[in-house]
Amino acid sequence: MPRKVITGFSNPTVKFVRSLREKKHRRLAGKFLVEGLRLLTDAREGGRLPEMLLMAQGRDEHPLLAELERAVEAAGGEVIELPIDLLAKVTGKDNPQAVAGVFAEWDTRLARIDRTAAPIWLVAQAMRDPGNLGTMLRTADAVGAGGLILLDDCVDPFSVEAVRASMGGIFTVALAQARWEEFEGWLRQAEGQLVAASLREAQPYRGAPYAAPCFVMVGNESQGLPEAYEMACDLRVTMPMKGRADSLNAAVAAAVLAYEVLAAVER
Contact 102, 39 (CB under 8 A): no
Burial 49-80 (b: 16+ CB within 10 A, else e): bbebbbbbeeeeeeeebeebbeebeeeebbbb
- Whole-angstrom distance, CA of residue 109 vs CA of residue 225: 22
Of 158 and 171, nearer to a second copy (C-beta) is 171
- Which range of residues in 21-29, 54-62, 189-197, 258-266 is near a second copy by CB under 8 A? 258-266
User: What per-residue string of b and e applies to 166-203 under the rule 16 or more CB within 10 Å gives b?
Assistant: bbbbbbbbbbbbbebeebeebbeeeebbbbbbbeeebe
Binders of a second copy among 89-148, rule CB under 8 A? 131, 135, 138-144
Binding mask 203-222 for a second copy (x = CB under 8 A): ---x----------------
Q: Most distant CA pair in the chain: distance in Å? A: 65
Residues 11-70 that bind a second copy (CB under 8 A): 42, 45-46
Q: How far is the CB of 97 from a second copy (least distance, A)?
A: 13
Site string for a second copy, 147-166 (x = CB under 8 A): ------------------x-
Q: CB of residue 138 vs a second copy: minimum separation in angstroms?
A: 6
What is the C-alpha separation between 166 and 153, in angstroms, rounded? Answer: 19
Which is closer to a second copy, CB of 86 or CB of 172? 172
Q: Could you count the other beta carbons within 10 Å of the beta carbon of residue 221?
A: 16
Q: How many residues bind a second copy (CB under 8 A)?
A: 36
Q: Rounded CA gap, 81 and 93, in Å?
A: 17
State yes or no: residue 81 binds a second copy (CB under 8 A): no
Minimum separation from the CB atom of position 149 to a second copy (A): 17
Q: Give least dist CB 85 to a second copy, A.
A: 24
Give the shortest CB-256-to-a second copy separation in angstroms.
5
Helix, coil or strand: residue 126: coil
The residues that touch a second copy, with contacts defined as CB under 8 A, are 42, 45-46, 131, 135, 138-144, 165, 167-169, 172-173, 206, 239-245, 247-249, 251-252, 255-256, 259, 262-263
